[in-house]
A and B are shown apart, each in its own frame.
Chain A
Amino acid sequence: MSIESFVTWLGDTPWSVALHESQYTYTFVEAAHVLGITLFAGTIAMVDLRLLGISFRGIKVSQMNDRILPWTVAGFILMVATGLVLFYAIPVRTFHSVWFRLKLVLMLIAGVNIWIYTFHVEKNRAEWDEAPRPPPGARLAAVLSLTMWIGVIVTGRMIAYNWYDCDKPQPRFIEAFAGCRAVPGYVPE
């Protein structure tokens, strides 16, 4: 089963249709998604600002990690859970959204950044735990994190707009990136 036929099947399931057409549920899930973003991105931004040596310079990096990151994880869980429901409500259009695809790419880069930070950069953290200004590697990780999550929030917001939807002819680049040719009824220029 291709992803294409999977999202088509998903969109035809009764619960997906019900969510899409619901008057309140979709809005509630969206509100919870935004609260998840606030919890997640807000707390990760504070940790990144500490890693950059811009704020909380008197607080140990390990304390920011141990005391704040659990809240970031909680926000992430809420964000992903509600995000999956939002995708489930409108699967075909979202799958072919250039903004959604861009968002996934940025999330992937953010994930790799976290992986590198956790398994390489953070290894000698004891040496700079109390440093007002952590080493370049840690600061680079913080800049990447801030940039990627800002990008994720902005591209996520743009999914709601239909400028690049496959229901109308699109420029070649958009057409390829969004996979418009696979959408039944797509009319190229």
Chain B
Amino acid sequence: MSFYDFFTGLENTPLGVAIKESTWMFPAIEAVHLLALALLGGAVLLLDLRLLGIGLKAYPASTVEKGVRPWLAIAILTLIGSGVLIGFSETLKLWGKPSFWVKMAALALAIAFTYLVRNPLARRDAGGVGVKAAAVLSMALWLTVALAGRWIGFS
């Protein structure tokens, strides 16, 4: 079985069929996805603003990072969980959409950059122009994920 067969077959699994046929499941999952998006926005922004020196600048970046850490993780996990369920109902359509693959690539980049570069920088209370660039890149990557997501529903 190729990856294509596996991926496009997901919508015919009992879970995929259940989401497709239910009137309220899809909207409910969408609402959870949206709530998690808002949480992500807050968690990402609080630290990026601090790194740019325009947010909670009276406190070290490491303090802000510690505060947002659980919420960032909860938001990302909830977004992925609800996102997988949303995708499950129409995997054949998703396969052919460039917007979906752009979003997945941007998501992988955003998560890797956040946990491998940006958060470690914040934990070390690093300073300088590199940190500001990391904050801008972080916001740009997450914005790309969100906008590509909007584009999936539209294309």
User: Which residues of A approach B to under 8 Å, CB–CB?
Assistant: 27, 30-31, 34-35, 37-46, 49-50, 55-56, 58-60, 63-64, 67-68, 71, 150, 153-154, 157-158, 160-161, 163
Contacts and interface: CB of A to CB of B under 8 A. Distances in A.
B46 to A, nearest CB: 5
A154 B68 CA distance: 23
A124 B30 CA distance: 40
B127 interface: no
Given A157-B27, A158-B27, A34 B37 contact: yes
Given A41-B42, A46-B68, 20 more contacts: A27-B150, A30-B150, A39-B45, A41-B35, A41-B41, A42-B39, A43-B42, A43-B45, A43-B46, A44-B42, A45-B38, A46-B43, A49-B71, A50-B67, A55-B68, A56-B67, A63-B59, A64-B56, A68-B55, A71-B55
Contacts of A67: 49, 55-58
Interface residues of B, number: 33
A71 B45 contact: yes
10 contacts: A34-B150, A40-B38, A41-B42, A45-B38, A46-B46, A56-B64, A58-B63, A63-B59, A67-B55, A157-B34
- B interface, by DSSP: helix, strand, loop or mixed? helix
Interface of B: 23, 27, 30-31, 34-35, 37-46, 49, 55-59, 63-64, 67-68, 70-71, 143, 146-147, 150, 154
